[in-house]
Structure 1
Amino acid sequence: MIDVFVGRHAIYNREMEVIAYELLFRGNAAAEHAEFMDADAATSQVILSTFTEIGLDRIVEGKMAFINLTRSFVLGDYSLPLSKAGLGLEILENINIDQPVIEAVQRLSTQGYTIVLDDFIYHESLRPLVEIADIIKIDMQALPDGEVQRHVEILRKHTVKLLAEKVETHEQFEFCNRLGFDYFQGFFFCQPHIVKGQRIPPNRLVTLRLLAKLQDPVTSIRELETLISQDVSLSYKLLRSLNSAFYNLPRKIESIHQALVMLGNQWLKTWASLLLLSSIHDKPQELMQMAMARAKMCELLATAKRLSAKEIFFTTGLFSVLDALMDQPMEDVLNALPLSQEVNDALLRREGTLGSVLQCVLDYERGNWDAVQCMGLQQGEITQAYLEAIAWANQVSKETRVKMTH
């Protein structure tokens, strides 16, 4: 088992499509203090060997991967066991930029790597690096709006692409969009875009009402069967998914009734809820991917601790993005859903066992490594749950996208 924390943060283009992932990493104490000639170089080597062992494509799904490089790694003659075409090398802001570094970065650029300057603050002495760089990242939390605008004006004189990072609100995203940034990174997309007086749009209201019926404990199995069967689109997607190679069931399922008998009431509610949320088209695909990964990771952590009612952990993770999907405060959305008090407490206040598992998943997702704790589970167990969850979410996302096109 890999005894490190490994994560990813999505990078979007102006159409809100994921074009790359920045890879996050923290090793254990032994890895970080390995006896290499240089501690920075040791960390870089551990990062690379870790991603080689895990399999890079398992994390980035064919998208570009951005990794952070230390000064020692930039200057050292280390082999990169990764495709040059699919790799962005981030030159960290704390690297002392001198002639050896400039020459080393130029060599990496000539070899075909994408050069990215991280947390960039312009100074005339950095001009040689600007001339080499393909992408420059500007930290939206580090500079006031006026300084951001000044940087954009200076850097637009060069051919470099601009990436706004740590974009945490829709207002920040709109500001960066107006300035003409090419790429965006941050958690703004999983925040609800609340406009005062705005109600839930009719198409999402229908989805929410159907979710409410699915989650209502009073709904009988017969009512559940009728409910899903009457929604032609939902029942079609459900049967298509169940009969795909992804599930590899022993025999073909031809009706919702048969699905209920074979798989059970709670499973069908959960999967129908997932497909319903996947049908909301005016949100970034990554939001639903995140919901599925959260759901699966919550379930896997509950399984690792041998907790009962794993499907409730799955539902809690899945519903943790409801506010962003509906563009309403979470409390208002939950008022429309007959969920248990335990689930509500987890989603609103991170209380109870459900809440602590969800908080662990959210901390891991954001790379808040120091806060990642989950009922005494080992670092490697949590990482394994994360990797399995994103692999599962990738597969399900492909399945649901295929179903949408048929």
Structure 2
Amino acid sequence: MRVLSKQAIYDKKGNVAFWEVFVQDPTTGKYPEDIDPLKATTIAVDVLVELGAYRVGEGKVVFVNVPAIFLEASMFDLLSPEYVGIELVENKNITTQTYNAIELLLKRGFKFCIDDFGFERIDYLPLLGKTHFVKIDIKNSPYDWQELKEVMVVLKSLKKSVIAKNIETEEDYKRAKEYGFDYFQGSYLSPPTVVKDTRTISYLRSTILELYKALTEGDMKRTVKILEKDVGAAYKLLKFANSVKAKKISSLEEAVAYLGFDNIVKFAIVLALSEMFAKGDERKYWERALYRACLAEKLAEIYSPNLKAKAHTAGLFSLSQEIFGRRPENLALELGLDKDILEAFEKKPNELSFILSLVELLEDTQNPEVLEKVAKILKTSPDKVKSAIESAKEELMTITQELA
């Protein structure tokens, strides 16, 4: 399991100035050995898009570790430079395209920081003129304390703000202040805290292809339909939409309309680059959730047609405990879903709660006695109930074949 954590960076007065986010193994507290820097960046950006950088950073800039070559991708299109900074790591083999990408991000207003700086690292030097901050690991610096004083003089003359990282003791902190560092980061000041368990953001690889086709045709209605078929992508889009709008957005149709074509295209790019695709048990739960959504919609069509859209959404997120590790009622609050859906998840008596209870009753059985009882409750015939079940199964089969 991996988590995204954040750690505060303090100014000289002891106030939080910025945050840094990074991937950790929660059991060891260290960087996971089985993940490369590129993947770690996609996870960090993915979570910031989902949760909102403003919320993660509590209104302060959040720095993301980024291999310089990765800047050529479009991962930062959905992030605001007002709340996100770029910390450059792994800066070998920098190309002209990389420099051009940095120039574009600078024009957009992003702040840059060089991690683990040292003048002997020639790969850093061409980037120095483009950065606002320089970070030095005072525990693993290539310089002794006397050499570090000289380095600080040069960096100050270049008008760079310098961050001391890996401050583990009071002595480290005092010395870093004495040597003129502007900002301070380390376990002595505050340990990292978990932002999010990254296991909860899986979706289907095929969703990306379908979204691409719909977006190239400019078909926003189809875009909504595609997102409605994928519980992971639907969750992420609603989270993203609500992270950039103060008023809660409670439906995918509303989210797509609010974000607009350009932002949905960028959202699809972020999904494609993050490569967190549902598989195994996740895929099974996804299929079951989609079946519930289809069946809930069919039953609502019989019982109360005006509830079809809400019933689909309620069915889609009814297995959020299994898929996301979150109780449905908590997820409904988090996503700002309709009050009727929230109350249904809370098992309060309303029409949607009633429909979901019938879905749970019918999803694993076609016992004639059960069908007859449900038909009586819905004031319809057993054949219509059976037809709703078969129709939902056919729809699920068609979707899974299309997205295979």
**TM-score between the two structures when normalised by the length of structure 1:** 0.41
**TM-score between the two structures when normalised by the length of structure 2:** 0.41
